[in-house]
Structure 1
Amino acid sequence: MTLVSTTLTTELLLHRAGTKSYWRGLTYRESVLSLRVHSRHVAARVRGGDDSAYVVELSWSGTHLVGACSCPHGSEGFFCKHCVAVGLVLLDRGETVPPPDAEDVELKDVLRALPAEVLRELLYEQAAGDPQLRARIISAR
C-alpha cells in the first residue's frame, strides 16, 4: 500500500508550477503582502509586477495541491508564480497548507453563532440544488 502525502515541499511547488513559474516565484516571496492560514486553506495577497494585488488561495483536493490566483495566468487555471511565492513563504515560516480533512474550527465557530433561522435558510438554499444533501436531510428526520 502506498501512502500519499499532503506535505508541502519545494519539490511539490516546482512540480505544480513548472520550472519557469517556480523560478519566477522565488523572486516574489517579498511581494507577499498578507498571508493567513485558515482551517482548510491558505489565503494571501501578493503584489504583482504592475503593483496590483492578486488574491491567492492554496488548498488540497485530496492529495493534489491546488493553487488559485486572480492574476491573468492564474485565472487561466495555472499554478502561477504568486502561488509559488505563497508556498515558499509558508515553508520559510515553518507553516503549511492544512490537510483537506482538518477540522474546520473557523466554520464551526461561525455556525454556532448564527441564529437558527439563518442556518435553516442557508441549508435550504444549498439542499435545493444538491440532491444528495437533500436526501441526507430528508433521511435524518
Structure 2
Amino acid sequence: MTPVSTTLTTELLLHRAGTKSYWRGLTYREAVLSLRVHSRHVAARVRGGDEDAYVVELSWSGTHLVGSCSCPHGSEGFFCKHCVAVGLVLLDRGQTVPPPDAEDVELKDVLRSLPPDVLRDLLYEQAAKDLKLRARIISSF
C-alpha cells in the first residue's frame, strides 16, 4: 500500500495554482492579514489588490490540496494567488495544512459543550439532508 502524502510544498502550490497565479501569490505574502490553523483546515484573510479582504481556506481532500477563496478568480473554482500566499506563509512559519484525518479536537470540544436538545436538532437537520447518515442513525437502534 502506498503511503498517503499530505505534504505542503512550494512545488505543490505551483502545480495547483499554475505559473501565473503562483508567481502573483509570491507577491501577496505580506497581504495575509490573519491566518489560523484549525484541526482539519487553515482559515485566513488576505487583502486583495482592491483593498477588499478575501476569505481563504486550505484543506486536504485525500491527497489533493483544496483551496477556496472569496475573490472573483477563486469563486470560479480556481486555486488563486491568495491561496498560494496563504500556503507560502504557512511554509515560511514552518506550519502546514493539517491532514484530513486529524482528530478534530475543536469540533469535539464544541459538541461536548452543547445541550442535548441542540445536538439532536443539529443531527436531525444533517440526517434529513444526508441519506447515508440517516440510514446509519436508524440502523444503530
> TM-score by structure 2 length?
0.98
**CA distance, structure 2, for counterparts of residue 101 and residue 127 of structure 1:** 22
Task: Name the aligned partner's letter for residue 113 of structure 1.
Answer: S
Q: Secondary structure at the match of 1:103?
A: coil
Equivalence for 2:64: 64
**CA distance, structure 2, for counterparts of residue 20 and residue 9 of structure 1:** 17
**CA distance, structure 1, for counterparts of residue 63 and residue 56 of structure 2:** 19
Q: Which runs of 5+ in 2 are unaligned?
A: none
Equivalence for 2:83: 83
**CA distance, structure 2, for counterparts of residue 41 and residue 118 of structure 1:** 25
**CA distance, structure 1, for counterparts of residue 83 and residue 43 of structure 2:** 10
Instruction: Report the RMSD for the aligned CA atoms in angstroms.
Output: 0.7
**CA distance, structure 2, for counterparts of residue 129 and residue 50 of structure 1:** 38
- The C-alpha deviation readout for 1:44-84, integer Å capped at 9, x for no partner, is 00000011100000000010000000000000000000000
Equivalence for 2:23: 23
**CA distance, structure 1, for counterparts of residue 8 and residue 121 of structure 2:** 38
Q: How many residue pairs end up in the alignment?
A: 141
**CA distance, structure 1, for counterparts of residue 2 and residue 104 of structure 2:** 27
Q: How does 1:1-141 map to 2 (within 5 A)?
A: 1-141=1-141
**CA distance, structure 2, for counterparts of residue 136 and residue 99 of structure 1:** 25
Shift of 1:140: 1.2
Identity %: 89
**CA distance, structure 1, for counterparts of residue 30 and residue 121 of structure 2:** 43
**CA distance, structure 1, for counterparts of residue 18 and residue 129 of structure 2:** 37
